Amino acid sequence: MKTWIVSLIGLCVAGAIYAQGLLICTSCGREAKAGETTCSRCSVALPKPKKESVVTGELPAMDVAGEISKITVASIKEDFKLASRAETNGHPAIAYFYYKNAMALSRLLENERFSKESHGLLMRGTERMMRQLKTAEIKCRVCQGRGKLAKSQSTIKVDGVTKTKLEGGNRLAEPVCPMCNGACFFTGMADVERTKAELLRGRTDYEQRRMLAGETRLGRLFVTPELEKLLNARQRALVMTGYTVPCSSCQGLETMSCSTCRGERWIKCPGTGCKSGRVDIPKSQSNARKEIRLNDVDIDKSVCPRCNGVGTIRCSKCDALGSVPCKSCSGSGQAVRCIRCLGVGVMDCTRCKGQGKMKDGAACLDCKSEGSVLCTGCRGEGAQTR
C-alpha cells in the first residue's frame, strides 16, 4: 500500500514538473538531459517534451468576406509583420507607427471578424513600444555612475576629529552608493525632447518606407491604393479617427519631464549647510567636559539629518517619478477633439443636406450620393491639428 502511494505521488510531481517544460522519469524520478528519449538509469521511455508556444510575426487567421475586408486583413497582417521585424531590429519608433496603423485599419472589420487575440497583440505591441521609448537608464547623481562613493565622502568626523574608514591592508574604503546600491544607473523617465526627436525621426523613416511601397496616405494613415478606392467618406473617417492625433506638446508621450529634478527623480538636499550629505558643526565655545553616559550611542553628528548623508532627497513635485502629466493635453497624449464634428471626422453634406441627391432627384456631386463628407475642420482626423 505504501509503495503504491509513493508511486502515485511521484507521478503527480513528475506531471507538475513536466508542465514547466522539464523531463522527469516517471519510474525513478531522475531528470533527463536534453535530447534523451529513454532514462539513462532505468531505461524507461521518457514522455515527449512539451512544445512552447512561440510568438511569430503573424496574426491568427481570420474568416472574412467582401473585398474591403480581405484587403484590410492582408494589410493588417503585413503591418504586424513589419512591426515585429522593426521591433526585433531595435527600431521601437518605427514599430510603434506600424502597430498604430494596423490598429486603425482594424476598425474596418466587424468584431466577430477581428478576434480579441489579434486586437490584444496589436494593443500590447503599441504599449510596449511606447513604454520602451519613454524609459531610459539614468546615471546616479550621488556616485556619478561609479556605484561607489568617492574617497573624500568616506571620511567622517567624530568629536571634531576627522577619521577615515579603513579596509584590510590599510586601503581607503569606497562604500557602496546608498542611492543606487552599486547599480550605477536607475530606470526613469527618458529626456522628453530626445524622445520626441526619436519619434519624429521614426515617423520620417516610417513614411518613407510606406511611400516607397506605393501606398496612399489618408491623414496620418497609410493604405493600399486598392483599398483607398473602395472606401467611402464614412469609412475613411472611421480609420482616420482610429489613428489618434498626438498632442503637439508631448507627441503622445502623455507626460513631460519634471522641471524641478529634470527627470532624475532626486534633487540636491536643501538642508541648511548640507554639502554632499555633511553638515559643518561649529566648535563649542565652552571648554567644559562633555558628560557621557554608559548607554549613550556614538552618533556621527556631522551627517545631515535631512538627507541622512546622501546629499539628495526625493523630488516632491513629481513624487520621485521623474515626469509630470502634460499640461497641454492633461496627460491624455491626444490632440483636442474637433468642435465641428465632435471627433467623428465626418459631417452631413451641406449641398444636399445629407440626402445624397438634389431636389430634382439628381445625384449630389459634392458627396457622390453618399450624403456625408469629411469634416472641413479636421479633414477627417477628428482632432484639431492647427
Asked if 238 and 110 sit in the same domain, the reply is yes
Mean pLDDT for the stretch of residues 204-233: 92
Give mean pLDDT, residues 328-347.
Answer: 88
Task: Give me the percent of the chain exceeding a pLDDT of 90.
Answer: 22
- What is the reported pLDDT for 323? 80
E-assigned strand segments in the chain = 135-139, 155-158, 161-164, 185-189, 216-218, 221-223, 255-257, 266-268, 274-275, 278-279, 312-314, 323-325, 346-348, 372-374
Q: Is residue 298 part of a domain?
A: no
- Residue 313's pLDDT is 84
* Tens of pLDDT, residues 251-305: 888 888 788 887 777 788 888 888 877 887 655 544 455 555 544 444 445 778 8
Predicted confidence at residue 88, as pLDDT, reads 92
Instruction: Tell me what pLDDT residue 80 has.
Output: 94
Identify the residue with better confidence: 9 or 210. Answer: 210
Is the domain of 85 the same as that of 231? yes
| Nearest-angstrom CA–CA distance, 111 and 95 | 25
Pairing of strands 346-348, 161-164: unpaired
Q: Rounded to whole angstroms, how far apart are CA atoms 188 and 186? A: 6
Is 92 contained in some domain?
yes
Cell readout for 354 is 445629407
User: Among 351, 355, 375, which Cα is nearest to 365's?
Assistant: 351
Strands 278-279 and 216-218: unpaired
pLDDT reported for residue 179: 63
Are 46 and 72 within one domain? Answer: no
40 and 130 inside one domain: no
Q: Tens of pLDDT along 196-215?
A: 889 999 999 999 999 999 99
Name the residue among 185, 209, 181, 14 with its Cα closest to residue 93. Answer: 209
Poorest-pLDDT segment among 88-102, 303-317, 363-377: 303-317
Range of the domain at 120: 61-140+180-243
Domain final position from 29, 52, 75: 52
Task: Flag whether 249 is in a domain.
Answer: no
CA-CA distance, 302 to 155, in Å (whole number)? 11
Cβ pair 301, 307 in contact under 8 A:
no
What pLDDT, on the 0 to 100 scale, is given for residue 35?
59
Dmax (CA) of the chain: 112
Residue 348 within a domain: yes
Q: Is residue 186 part of a domain?
A: yes
Tell which of 218, 243, 268 closes a domain.
Answer: 243
Most confident of 177-186, 279-288, 360-369: 360-369
Pair (48, 89) in one structural domain = no
The angle that helices 92-105 and 233-242 make with each other, rounded to 10 degrees, is: 140
> Quick one: 72 and 120 in the same domain?
yes
Cell digits for 125? 505591441
* Of 145-154, 181-190, 267-276, 306-315, minimum mean pLDDT range: 145-154
Higher pLDDT, 41 or 351: 351
In this structure, of 29-43, 91-105, 267-281, the range with the lowest mean pLDDT score is 29-43
Residue 163 inside a domain? The answer is: no
Name the percent of the chain lying above pLDDT 70.
70
Task: Check whether 166 has a pLDDT greater than 70.
Answer: no
Return mean pLDDT, the chain.
76
Q: Which residue has the higher pLDDT, 295 or 365?
A: 365
In a domain, 212, yes or no: yes
Single pTM value for the model? 0.66
Do 105 and 6 belong to one domain? no
**Judgement on whether residues 43 and 119 belong to the same structural domain of the protein:** no
Name the one residue in this structure whose C-alpha cell is 477633439: 337
Q: What is the pLDDT of residues 106-145, one digit of tens each?
A: 999 876 677 888 888 999 999 999 988 888 777 776 677 7
**Sign of the alpha-carbon dihedral angle for 227, 228, 229, 233:** positive
Claim to verify: residue 122 and residue 236 sit in the same structural domain: yes
Structural domain total, the chain? 3
| Minimum mean pLDDT range among 23-32, 35-44, 89-98, 146-155 | 146-155
What are the grid coordinates assigned to 270, written together?
536643501
Residue 313 lies inside a defined structural domain of this protein = no
